[in-house]
Structure 1
Amino acid sequence: MLDDPLFYLVSIPAVMLYGVAKGGFGGAISVLSVPMMALVMPPTQAAAILLPILVVMDAFAVQTYWGRFDRRALGLLLPGAVFGVVIGYLTAGLLSEAILRLMVGVISLLFALQQLTGFRARAAARHKPLAASFYGTIAGFTSFNIHAGGPPFTMYLMPKRLDPLLFAGTAAVFFAVVNLVKLVPYAVLGQFTGANLLYSLVLVPLAPLGVKLGHALTRRSSPGIYYRVISIFLLVVGVKLLWEGYRAL
């Protein structure tokens, strides 16, 4: 596959897109990376190739935003996320990728429409342990299966209207932990073959470039523009995932 130009044509933009999201800009759009790479390989292989690259991106993102994160949000979200990863491992292969895409697509679309139309629940601005556990679990579960934890995470944290850099830093730490946890079940399931690790190694130099670009865009964004961009990306992602899930049924 390394001698196939189409591999680079889809994989390089997919990795850069994820890097920009890791850097804090439009995080939910990162879920498009696996579908892009799935144009030239099975989605499960795309997810396996991406995971080591995501871990490297996480290291750069955490370093970039170190000291800027919401401890309360992380404390509430991470236990559920780890539980979601465990559920993903235990149910690996039971749920089709079509169903997962439809599930995340519906939630993303409804939330984006709510944000863009201005119908926001006041209670959502406060931290709630039960809501955090729910969204954290969904984020861990969908992250394990198709690296689509961004929308559920965003749905919980976005109504808190954090400063863009604080939001991005919280996301960086959250997904750094989640992706490290995912390494173990991915290895147990035999996803890290020699070929997949070689593909990861070829693409990993793009990791810091994407993160730096995302950080630069986040620093230059006002809170109003930043959250509107995220909402629009969520809308696009929701439509995209619904269409892909419907076609795959």
Structure 2
Amino acid sequence: MKRRLWTREELILALSLYLKLPFGKIHHQNPDIIELAQLIDRTPSAVSMRLSNFASVDPFHQKRGIKGLVGGIKQVQPIWNEFMANKDELLFESEQVRAVLEYRPLEQKYGDVLSGVENLKGEVKTQEVKVRVNQHVFRKIVLVNYNTQCAVTSINIPEMLIASHIIPWSANEEERLNPSNGICLSAHFDKAFDKGFITFDEKYKLVLSPSLKDYSTKDYFSTWFQRFEGARINMPQKYLPHLDFMAWHRENIYKY
């Protein structure tokens, strides 16, 4: 029986799933892997192996000396390179492909996320759908990377967590979906980070702005900020916040 080659669409679905899973959970018994296998009519073991192929080309694992499965590297390397060059397009395409296979239009699958787009038309609507879906995917990747807990407080209530961009979405199109440009923060720390009241140093330790310390006489200051000053973030499972992005935040957002 002739082996069925993986299509480009199947490979981008596998890459999208790889980005959303911790390395230790890319085994064939993972429910997410079983679900994708059923969707593309392959075995969970085959999908698990493809994810391990992506691990073999992931620079994060290469730096750790983890080789993954190198047998399929020729198939996955072009998809990985395409993702690195154009994350917006590839992640959105993966969600479109999946929606087709699930027989669910994107607007139905992402009903809450896309609320209001039905009033838009043409290219404006297309772009808004793309932005919102990609932001949703980015959030999922970042939360998984931090084990669904705030990097500062360890709060692990998903509804209270935000995938904070280190370099804002609008400031750098190329890096807006880079997992290393995200950090999982609880809502009030996300706002403080976004407005420059906190930042992180080159050792990933929390730094409080002098502007925030103007409120040091308030009870909430010691409870919600001072107690965490100088503490190192809960380190992510895979993608560390890029030090260059952190430096950009300190130079452009942080209130000195």
TM-score by length of 2: 0.26
**Structure with larger RCO (C-alpha < 8 A, sep 6+):** 1
Q: Is the radius of gyration larger for structure 1 or structure 2?
A: 2
TM-score by length of 1: 0.27
Normalized per residue, the structure richer in strand is 2
